Chain A
Amino acid sequence: MAVILHEEFKVERNDYSNAGKISSRVKDFLKQIGVNPKTLRRIAVACYEAEINLVIHSDGGMVYMDVMDDGSIQLTFEDVGPGIPDLEKALTPGFSTASNEARNLGFGAGMGLPNIKRVSDGFDITSSPEGTTLKLSFTDRNE
């Protein structure tokens, strides 16, 4: 499988005012290449929750978007720490360590990772104190 479109974006830690801009760009790119609206919405929702997580929970990182030649879309979120000590807990609906600042944005309900998992076709997360990597894949289909 070959990559036919690749974009990358930098996320700054605690950059609340720009939170969501990357997801907006990703959505625009994928809309332009004709991804189905429902698939596009699933991707936008997952991307936005994951982008917010990098802003509010991580020390910053990168978002990579890859469109493959079979039409599938991969999103990778790679941050530089502090990592997630207990992944199972983090994936439990309602579990959150979000700060008040994050809550004021309307996040911190502990529903982000469960939502991301539900709307994506492929979900893989690994974490250590050096950083967390979340890999998502989506199959574009006429849903």
Chain B
Amino acid sequence: MLAKDIVQAIQAEPLSIWNNNLLNKDYSMAFASDLMSDALAMIQNYPESTILITGLCNSQVLRTAEMLDIEMIIFVRGKKLPEESLEIAAEMGFNIFTTEYTMYETCGILFGKGLGGIRGSHTS
């Protein structure tokens, strides 16, 4: 699913854009969790085509994405990063968005549109 279509589907607002070209990139999977240990454990194989969806909003999310080489992060429930974390975000090179939808709604919408989970492709 193209990043720009993901953004449109959940009416997400950009919080920090590192590379505009990535809006045309095709991401094949998403992983959602508020537990960074889960993200660190589960996202192993294709981080560059996986987006991270989370309700946790602090610099450890950015560190986690950095360790995993994830490019695109979506915060749910309209959460925004504190100013100092946004500065780190710009340095590290992420495209970060926020959506008003809850975690459940965000995942439901994107899954429904064909963005699969990390354990296998979406079938319906």
Contact = CB atoms under 8 A, between A and B. Distances in A.
Contacts of B40: 45, 48-49, 111, 115
Contacts of B64: 48, 106
A143 B96 CA distance: 29
Interface in A98-143: 104-107, 109-112, 114-115, 118
Contacts of B63: 19-20, 23-24, 48
B50 to A, nearest CB: 12
A41 interface: yes
A44 interface: yes
Given A48-B64, A106-B61, A41 B44 contact: yes
Interface residues of A, number: 25
Contact of A115 (B41, B59, B61): B41
Nearest to A23: B67
B105 interface: no
A44 B67 contact: yes
B38 A41 contact: no
A20 B60 contact: yes
A37 to B, nearest CB: 7
B58 interface: yes
A13 interface: no
Nearest to B34: A106
Chain A contact residues: helix, strand, loop or mixed: helix
B60 A41 contact: no
A105 B58 contact: yes
Contacts of A20: 59-60, 63, 66-67
Interface string A27-54: 1000000000100010011011100100
A32 to B, nearest CB: 15
Contacts of A112: 37
Contact of A105 (B36, B38, B41, B54): B36
B41 A48 contact: no
B92 to A, nearest CB: 8
A115 B38 CA distance: 9
Contact of B37 (A23, A24, A107): A107
B60 A106 contact: yes
Interface string B67-83: 11100000000000000
Interface of B: 34-38, 40-41, 44, 47, 54, 56, 58-61, 63-64, 66-69
